[in-house]
Structure 1
Amino acid sequence: MKQAIYRTHGSPADVIELTEEPSEDLQPGHTRVKILRSPINPSDVAQIEGVYGLQPPLPAPAGMEGIGEVVEVNGEGHALGTLVLLTDPPGAWSTERVFPSETLVAVPHADVDQLSMLTVNPATAYLLLTQYVDLKEGDWLIQSAANSAVGRYVTQLAKSRGIRVASVVRRESALADVKKAGCDAAFVDGPDLAEQVAAQLDQEPVLALDAVAGEAFGRLASTLRPGGTVVSYGGMSYQPVVVPDNLLIFKNITMRGFWLVNWLMSAAREEQQRVYQELTGLILSGALHAPIDRVFPLEGVNEALVHTLKGSRSGKVLLAPNGV
């Protein structure tokens, strides 16, 4: 089998290498999965760089999520040919992997590109919308990095619930994309963000979702109504969160943090299955969809990482370990 690994932390395109390893023996109660697709996510990049919250021992396999096909089972398990979400990350950037059969989640046969992204970003968007504020129809939420995969899913999920979305991006050229994605208002981040938002919205947002950190976090929080909540779920600026103390003292803003791993470790298995079943249904119906920029073979993983990090893509970059 082929597998993408890194022996040291650093720039992903420089430290990732493709290795050839013998297939793992299949023990009782385990399933062999042929991996069909795996996205390159910011969490993958952060883990390879050594700045992610969860670090496996080196050398480490890469790839946090994906979808595969059951090709061999020892004992009870899903039928051969079943599509399954990959569990026990990392290691999705491989041609095959062996998993405990009971941990695999079966999904219907559908667009493998869209299904390969189900585990991380749609779940993150869903939980950001539902865990912190009881949003009502007509409420406003505001989000940074609105042109990211999570940002697009947030917009789609919010719109399906009648929640209005104000999208914030870091460059003028991204405005058209977030407007096309369905947001109700769009802004370019800057020192006057709060003034821009107040001039366009008919009421202050209830919830702010931030994936940038740095001073952008404080600017986003400054748009909220008194008692509003801002949730940090990413740090694309690689800067610490900065928030003016007057927002905490005079506006009583609540600050929270979200990491999907914490939910996966604490939520009951029944709850996780409920969330993923709901999200699968939305993907199958077309209500949830993320644009795909390019699909690379596993042999092109380094080129795929360079392409991912250049910052001018039209969608997600995927790896196809067993061919496009």
Structure 2
Amino acid sequence: MTQPTHSMPMTIPAINKGISLKYSEKMNIPFAERIALAEKPIPELKPGQVLVKMLASPINPSDLVYLMGKYGLPPQDGAYAGFEGAGTVVAANAGMYGRWLIGKRVAVSAEPGNDGLWAQYAITRANLCLPVRKELSDAQAATLIVNPCTSVCLVDRARQLGSKAVVLNAAASQVGKGIIRYAKMHNIKTIATVRSQKNVKPLMDLGADAVLLTTSEDYLAQLKDICHQFKATVLLDAVADVDTPTVMSCMPRHSTAVVYGRLTETQHPIGGQFSVADVIFRDHKVEGFWLATYFGQAKPWQVLSLSRKVQKLFALGIFDTDIFGEYDFHNFSDGLEHYAVNKSDGKVILHPNAVSL
């Protein structure tokens, strides 16, 4: 094996500390009981991989779904969790690009099938590391990939489909807020749906063209009226299950649901529902979006272009991830439990190498 290279002396410990998954098929146990602080040796880098000293890593809805064993990747008991973060590349076995990355602060995604990023050090593929601008804090850099890139890709897909307006559920999420900001830049109207009254005014202030409360008695009537008024033919769907056909039933003919998550509280395996009648007689379509698939299929220049676009939006203040709290290993479980039931409060950020926060 080619030995990892580095451009400056760096001390790399033999042992890595992180938050590992304690997988259980029981569904109604606290998230804090699904994780454990663990230590394991740092393995040698395989070709194409880099070693990153982690600076910050957020909790995303996908992390919660993974901890429950309902994500698209099977849970690995004892594996470090965490799909996204930011850190400094300290060693590489990945050719010229890997050597160039050494010493650089990067936004990073976990390599599917390997340990995640809720750890002091993480091994991932070099092409899953994106150098970040100095203007971004570690916490903001750690949230660069999953939510902002998803927001941009979803709005760009709506543009490809020719929609003049989009419906977005779970709109108070970080992806939802990013969609509202980015869609406004492209003159696409946004119809946001939320479950809590406290989220209505903030989303209107953010620039949403309409915010509907799903608990209102006339919610569906309001939704149908405004969907036809705005000619909203794309649903950006983070909830799935029965919400997909419910919302689509209020939308015009030839509408498309782009499903990118499933926040529905259910114990059933991954899945969803759709209206067969709407698909047949109203030409409704359902498609999926997973950022990991996008990165896997995109050309390197497309990924770098997306990264530059998103970072520019951060620098301009158009994107700005809400941060609820920043934690170290000792109090992370408190932040995890809070985020599990208060996602709209903002991100919970883990600082794996912090001594104390």
- Same fold by TM (over 0.5)? yes
CA RMSD of aligned residues (A): 2.5
**Aligned mates of 1:312, 1:290 — CA distance in 2:** 12
Paired residue secondary structure (1:14): helix
Paired residue secondary structure (2:330): helix
Closer, same or farther: CA 3–246 of 1 in aligned 2, 3 Å: same
Residue among 68, 71, 76 paired with 1:52:
71
In the TM superposition, 1:99-248 aligns within 5 A as: 99-101=124-126, 103-109=128-134, 110-131=136-157, 133-134=159-160, 139-190=164-215, 192-200=218-226, 202-238=229-265, 240-248=271-279
Moved more, 261-270 or 302-311: 261-270
**Aligned mates of 2:345, 2:195 — CA distance in 1:** 15
Consecutive unaligned residues of structure 1, counting only runs of 5 or more, are none
What's the counterpart of residue 304 of structure 2?
273
What letter matches 1:212 in structure 2? V
Deviations 1:127-147 (A, max 9, x none): 21223552669x111110000
Contact 1:3-1:93 within 8 A present in 2 as well: yes
Moved more, 248-257 or 224-233: 248-257
Q: What is the CA distance between 1:26 and its match in structure 2?
A: 6.2
What letter matches 1:158 in structure 2? A
Contact 1:65-1:120 within 8 A present in 2 as well: yes
Contact 1:35-1:96 within 8 A present in 2 as well: yes
What letter matches 1:82 in structure 2? K
Contact 1:5-1:60 within 8 A present in 2 as well: yes
Moved more, 211-220 or 58-67: 211-220
Paired residue secondary structure (1:50): coil
Contact 1:208-1:230 within 8 A present in 2 as well: yes
What's the counterpart of residue 88 of structure 1?
110
**Aligned mates of 2:235, 2:129 — CA distance in 1:** 34
**Aligned mates of 1:73, 1:226 — CA distance in 2:** 52
Are 1:97 and 2:122 an aligned pair? yes
Q: What is the CA distance between 1:82 and its match in structure 2?
A: 1.4
What letter matches 2:71 in structure 1? Y
**Aligned mates of 1:234, 1:287 — CA distance in 2:** 23
What letter matches 1:292 in structure 2? I
Closer, same or farther: CA 198–48 of 1 in aligned 2, 3 Å: closer
In the TM superposition, 1:292-311 aligns within 5 A as: 292-311=323-342
Count of residue pairs brought into register by the alignment: 323
**Aligned mates of 2:192, 2:46 — CA distance in 1:** 49
Consecutive unaligned residues of structure 2, counting only runs of 5 or more, are 1-15
What's the counterpart of residue 21 of structure 2?
6
**Aligned mates of 2:47, 2:150 — CA distance in 1:** 33
Q: Percent identity?
A: 28
What's the counterpart of residue 261 of structure 1?
292
**Aligned mates of 1:296, 1:123 — CA distance in 2:** 24
Q: What is the CA distance between 1:301 and its match in structure 2?
A: 2.1
What letter matches 2:353 in structure 1? N
What letter matches 1:134 in structure 2? Q
Q: What is the CA distance between 1:295 and its match in structure 2?
A: 0.9
What's the counterpart of residue 287 of structure 1?
318
**Aligned mates of 1:102, 1:128 — CA distance in 2:** 22
What TM-score does the superposition give when structure 1 sets the normalisation length?
A: 0.89
What letter matches 2:237 in structure 1? D
What's the counterpart of residue 18 of structure 1?
37
Q: What is the CA distance between 1:68 and its match in structure 2?
A: 0.3
Q: What is the CA distance between 1:313 and its match in structure 2?
A: 5.0
Moved more, 127-136 or 1-10: 127-136
**Aligned mates of 1:99, 1:252 — CA distance in 2:** 42
Q: What is the CA distance between 1:25 and its match in structure 2?
A: 5.1
Contact 2:69-2:75 within 8 A present in 1 as well: no
Deviations 1:64-122 (A, max 9, x none): 00000234457851365411122433521011224455653212222222111111111
Paired residue secondary structure (1:271): helix
Contact 2:166-2:232 within 8 A present in 1 as well: yes
